[in-house]
Amino acid sequence: MLAALTLAACGGDDGPSGPTVSDDRTIDVALGYGPVVPLRARLVGPLDGNAWVFTRPGAGRPTGPPVVFVHDWGATDPTTHGPWIAHLVAAGRTVVFPLYQTGQGDRPSRALPQAATGIRNALELLGVSPRRAFYLGYGAGGALAADIAASAGPLTLPRAAGVVAAYPSRTVRPLLTDEGAVRLPAPAGRRLAPGTPLLALAGADDSPETRTVARTLVRAAGPTGRLRVITDPRISEHTGPIQTDPVARRTFWATVDRLIDSEDDA
């Protein structure tokens, strides 16, 4: 069951010297199995480059690499991914959730630059310039997370400490045009920095296209790319990564935790 974001308190913006903050609140997010995690949620940036920033209430400036969580196509409401985001924040991570599909973002060609602008605005709000970040995405966001990581240098973003693409897809359906399904374009000529770990998770009962995209991402990553096909029927369809039951938490949440922990220790 998806968690509801429950408003606890609202605030203002962070002042005229920084990026515009249009929402600042404390929310309580249920992890789906009992615990409730309080988060500070801030929406920063203009419509064509905004992002949610999730931290622990009262937390100071983050010291570790942030986690950039890239939503699936059409899933701009972070409630869809709320339990996983809350789990990451509870573990001490700062989560940046770029809204690449607002403004002109319903055009697939705009997804990458709008996501990058949102991430930069979020980091400016946090007052940090981290050398590294973890890029995590689901669905179309899985492919886009890998694209962002591969383009981090030209986009003036932190280099990838690791990438996880969960059930990645490039087939999207813009809502604001008469087009049918179109392709989310991959950035031409961009590759992950050598040695960057990339894990692509593909569902055995998801569409064949997602498995093709997952294999393509792994091949492009070279020796540090890994593919894992999820066969458990409880989580092998496309919605598997947004479930919160024990098998989903072990398969997706714990896998990402291990990657982050291993890179932190490196």
Q: Does residue 194 contact residue 222 with C-beta atoms inside 8 Å?
A: yes
CA-to-CA distance for 211 and 201, rounded, in angstroms? Answer: 8
CA-to-CA distance for 201 and 215, rounded, in angstroms? Answer: 9
pLDDT at position 251: 97
CA-to-CA distance for 202 and 213, rounded, in angstroms? Answer: 9
Q: Which helix (H) or strand (E) holds 200?
A: strand 198-203
Q: Considering Cα of 107, then 109, then 115, then 118, what sign does the dihedral take?
A: negative
β-strands 67-70, 51-55: how paired?
unpaired
pLDDT at position 9: 34
pLDDT at position 213: 97
Residue 72 is classified by DSSP as P
Task: Please give the domain boundaries of the chain with CATH numbers for all domains.
Answer: 6-265 (3.40.50.1820)
pLDDT at position 249: 96
pLDDT at position 182: 87
CA-to-CA distance for 185 and 170, rounded, in angstroms? Answer: 7
The per-residue pLDDT string of the chain (266 residues; one tens digit each, 9 = 90 and over) reads 233 343 333 334 444 567 899 999 999 999 988 889 999 999 999 988 899 999 999 988 888 899 999 999 989 999 889 999 999 999 999 999 999 987 656 788 899 999 999 999 999 999 999 999 999 999 999 999 999 999 999 999 999 999 999 999 999 988 766 667 889 999 887 889 999 999 999 999 999 999 999 999 999 999 999 999 999 999 999 999 999 999 999 999 999 999 999 887 65
β-strands 21-30, 6-10: how paired?
antiparallel
Instruction: Name the residue with tokens 């055995």.
Output: 204
Q: Compute CA 28 distance to the chain's CA centroid, rounded to the nearest angstrom.
A: 20
Q: Does residue 59 contact residue 40 with C-beta atoms inside 8 Å?
A: yes
Residue 32 is classified by DSSP as S
- CA proximity to 148, closest of 139, 159, 210: 159
pLDDT at position 7: 32
pLDDT at position 263: 80
- CA proximity to 118, closest of 96, 86, 144: 96
Helix axes 208-221 and 140-150, enclosed angle (nearest 10): 20
pLDDT at position 17: 61
Q: Does residue 161 contact residue 65 with C-beta atoms inside 8 Å?
A: yes
